[in-house]
């Protein structure tokens, strides 16, 4: 029996063709602070111009300004670069084991069930990796 006949193969699933873009934001972002993060990046229209397919190199630059009202706080420059990543939706469901089935050491046994699903393809990423020069 050949080696390829013994190993099981994974099922093939078609990739969704929805394009997504990602931003490597250098700060903490919670669900409630997403509008502030978008404002710090120049607004929705500036992000749209930066990620547009036909945008020039100068249009693909982003500036992240944490303190827009302070003239001495310089913005952080960012580049939009091509990417070839998958966007996954990961769901973790927790299920507690009944008290009578607790482990000997007394710790809770929480069983986690994970599922992952490919939602789309990330074709461009905005990165803020330039070195800041202090003079």
Domains in the chain and their CATH numbers?
14-127 (3.30.200.160)
pTM: 0.68
Average pLDDT, the chain: 81
Does pLDDT of 52 surpass 80?
A: yes
Give the integer Cα–Cα distance in Å for 22 and 58: 19
The H or E element spanning position 48 is helix 44-51
**Residue 134 pLDDT level (bands cut at 50, 70, 90):** very low
The Cα 48–Cα 27 span in angstroms is: 21
Q: Yes or no: say if 38 and 47 are a contact pair by the CB < 8 Å rule.
A: yes
């Amino acid at each position: 029996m050949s080696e390829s006949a013994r190993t099981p193969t994974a099922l093939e699933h078609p990739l969704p063709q929805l394009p997504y873009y990602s931003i490597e934001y250098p700060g903490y972002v919670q669900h409630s602070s997403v509008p502030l993060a978008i404002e710090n990046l120049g607004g929705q229209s500036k992000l749209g111009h930066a990620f547009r397919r036909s945008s020039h190199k100068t249009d693909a630059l982003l500036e992240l300004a944490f303190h827009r009202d302070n003239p001495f706080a310089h913005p952080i420059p960012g580049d939009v670069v091509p990417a070839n990543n998958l966007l996954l939706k990961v769901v973790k469901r927790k299920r507690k084991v009944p008290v009578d089935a607790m482990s000997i050491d007394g710790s809770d046994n929480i069983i986690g069930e994970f599922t992952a699903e490919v939602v789309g393809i990330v074709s461009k990423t905005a990165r803020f990796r330039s070195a800041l020069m202090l003079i």
